[in-house]
Structure 1
Amino acid sequence: MKVKVSTVAFSTNQLLVKELKRHFQDVEINEKGVRIPESELASFYKDADAIIVGLEKITPELLDRLPNLKIIAKYGVGLDNINLEACYARNVSVGWTGGVNKRSVAEMTLGFMLALCRNLYSTSNQLKSGIWNKNGGSHLTGKTIGIIGVGNIGKELISLLSGFQCNFLLNDIVENKELDGSNLTFVDKETLFKESDFITLHTPLTTETNNLIDLEALKKMKRTAFLINTARGGIINELDLKIALEQGIIAGAALDVYETEPPQDLELLRLENLITTPHTGGNALEAVLAMGNSAIEHLLKFKNSYN
């Protein structure tokens, strides 16, 4: 079985590449070290029986150009980049494991919260410029945390925050009855926007969540509130966020994901009350290995099912 790996994080991890080649003889990885442009994916995947993808868009048009393709293994957890209906209509299997990087993303979210409320990021940058700012911000302890999307990562974040005596306002398309506690309350988005000290997003990017956080939503938030997105770019309208941060409509934000990656709006990226990271929420070493090994396991299960 010919296997091709397009995702950079897998291709540059020698442990994962070695493990993949231990099980499959015919392997080609992305040796460029940068994401393959969408226009070149068909050429790269050509003749592959199996592919391992990260954020690459798998469209019906692309699948039509890959007649040999039998299985797609997902490196990561989000499936919004893969047209599942088109895959199944063409008898292409999709291997995916939910929650495999949940600890990594939840830890980054917690780190963002602490950096924002304690002014760790802003005062660090100021000190490097010679400014001695003694404003230590406020405690995370006791704050109200609004979580939109209470799946694997949202639940992991609640667990991580258990020692901070926070109250949680939760919003999801399904009210999870397993989540029960005096500090956990499912509410509508309107209430969550108005009452949260932190709002953190953990939903997939869909037609319902695209531009979910726009200027109207931002104006409903407290002026002292912080917004965090470690989910998918496009859930937040970045132009509206820039206005909100520039005008002090909210106190600050942290982004690990962007509408276009890498992001191009340098005015947004340079705002002092915005923390930016290059989509590394799920890229802790442990998560990289877990996601990569999960993808390999899906390929092995598929291969063994035909033996």
Structure 2
Amino acid sequence: MTGKTLKENELVKFLANADKAIVGIEIIDKDILDQLPKLKLISKYGVGLNNLDLDECKKRNIQIKFQPGSNKQSVAEFTLLLMLNSLRQVHNNKTEIIEGNWTQAKGQELKGKKIGIIGFGNIGSCLVSLLKPFGNKILFFDERKFSSAEIDKFNDKNLKQASISEVLSTSDIVSIHIPLSSGTKNMINKNAFKQMKESIILINTSRGGIVDEVELYKFLKNNNLAFASFDVFEHEPAFKSPLLKLDNFFASSHRASLTEQGIESMGIAAINGLGD
């Protein structure tokens, strides 16, 4: 572990003699693997696998170890934070006070909002548990069909599986919790935005690239009732993203999982993945 993200040359140098490696967000593609003939196992720090060329790893019989859900509590809590901030716009208030503006802007309550969750894995389902005190109606979309018995385990009569179209068109807040893959790339596109309410709040704490950021910009630019809060971007760091210039867009720097507890949980999972 180096404590920093390694680029191609320094990554190859660091792993040159390793047969096992813990990898965070570093890109492990064919070019990298060609230079690491001894590598036999990759243990993932964190839960996303989109930075690994899984096909190349399979061809070379390189094992991939990862622990889904190791950061679920931290990310779900951060998602709830973004929901509340999107409704209350707290992030601007300190600057306003410093500038001499004692602004007392009205916000909205989370209670009574219909929540749409895209992806009902570890984080999406954890979010449902956090939302329970608010009594929201919750629709979730997932590729896997959940049985009534599985849904009943949440003991929430307001929870229902729905189509992606129903989630997008009827929700007040939509939160994204799916991995980035060839099938989910730009999944939230122009057609998806056309289905959303004008006052939609869109939250993304999963992966950049799932939302078409060009179409998101157009949607927000032309619709000041909508709001989006993103912790992830297609290209990071996103210093030059035009989205940052919009008043109805809030950004954070891919930090949803970064709590002391979340870091420890992901670290232990990555170490355990190395085996003996």
- Is the TM-score greater than 0.5? yes
SS at match of 2:102: coil
Per the alignment, residue 222 of structure 1 pairs with 197
Deviating more after overlay: 197-206 vs 86-95: 86-95
Residue 88 of structure 1, CA deviation: 2.7
Query: Contact conserved, 2:140 with 2:167, CA < 8 A, in 1?
Result: yes
SS at match of 2:55: helix
Supply the AA of the counterpart residue of 2:11: L
Please state if 1:72 is matched with 2:47: no
Per the alignment, residue 179 of structure 1 pairs with 151
Query: Contact conserved, 2:8 with 2:32, CA < 8 A, in 1?
Result: no
Residue 113 of structure 1, CA deviation: 0.4
Per the alignment, residue 231 of structure 1 pairs with 206
Residue 65 of structure 1, CA deviation: 1.5
Q: Distance in 2 between matches of 1:60 and 1:118?
A: 46
Deviating more after overlay: 185-194 vs 197-206: 185-194
* Structure 1 residues 81 and 136, CA gap change in structure 2 (3 angstroms): same
Residue 217 of structure 1, CA deviation: 1.5
Per the alignment, residue 145 of structure 1 pairs with 115
Deviating more after overlay: 265-274 vs 53-62: 265-274
1:200-224 CA-partner distances (Å, limit 9, x unpaired): 0000001221111123312321121
- Structure 2: gaps spanning 5 or more residues: none
Supply the AA of the counterpart residue of 1:253: A
Per the alignment, residue 91 of structure 2 pairs with 121
Q: Distance in 1 between matches of 2:233 and 2:258?
A: 16
1:266-305 CA-partner distances (Å, limit 9, x unpaired): 4322322222111111111101011111111121x2x3xx
Matched length: 271
* Structure 1 residues 144 and 52, CA gap change in structure 2 (3 angstroms): same
Per the alignment, residue 297 of structure 1 pairs with 272
* Structure 1 residues 39 and 255, CA gap change in structure 2 (3 angstroms): farther
Query: Contact conserved, 1:221 with 1:250, CA < 8 A, in 2?
Result: no
* Higher relative contact order (Cα pairs below 8 Å, separated by 6+ residues): 2
Query: Contact conserved, 1:219 with 1:249, CA < 8 A, in 2?
Result: no
Per the alignment, residue 126 of structure 2 pairs with 156
Q: Distance in 1 between matches of 2:98 and 2:170?
A: 35
Q: 1:102 aligns with which of 32, 54, 72?
A: 72
1:69-114 CA-partner distances (Å, limit 9, x unpaired): 1211110011122222322321222221110000000000000000
Correspondence 1:136-285 to 2 at 5 A: 136-177=106-147, 178-180=150-152, 181-248=156-223, 251-285=226-260
SS at match of 2:42: strand
* Structure 1 residues 65 and 261, CA gap change in structure 2 (3 angstroms): same
* Structure 1 residues 208 and 128, CA gap change in structure 2 (3 angstroms): farther
Q: Distance in 2 between matches of 1:139 and 1:38?
A: 47
Q: Distance in 1 between matches of 2:9 and 2:172?
A: 42
Q: Distance in 1 between matches of 2:94 and 2:182?
A: 38
Query: Contact conserved, 1:147 with 1:169, CA < 8 A, in 2?
Result: yes
Query: Contact conserved, 2:224 with 2:248, CA < 8 A, in 1?
Result: no
Identity %: 39
SS at match of 1:146: strand
Query: Contact conserved, 2:44 with 2:65, CA < 8 A, in 1?
Result: yes
* Structure 1 residues 247 and 129, CA gap change in structure 2 (3 angstroms): farther
Q: 1:41 aligns with which of 1, 6, 11?
A: 11
Please state if 1:134 is matched with 2:104: yes
Query: Contact conserved, 1:244 with 1:250, CA < 8 A, in 2?
Result: no
* Structure 1 residues 250 and 50, CA gap change in structure 2 (3 angstroms): farther
RMSD: 1.7
SS at match of 1:61: helix
Q: Distance in 2 between matches of 1:119 and 1:289?
A: 31
* Structure 1 residues 131 and 212, CA gap change in structure 2 (3 angstroms): farther
TM-score by length of 2: 0.92
- Structure 1: gaps spanning 5 or more residues: 6-10, 13-32
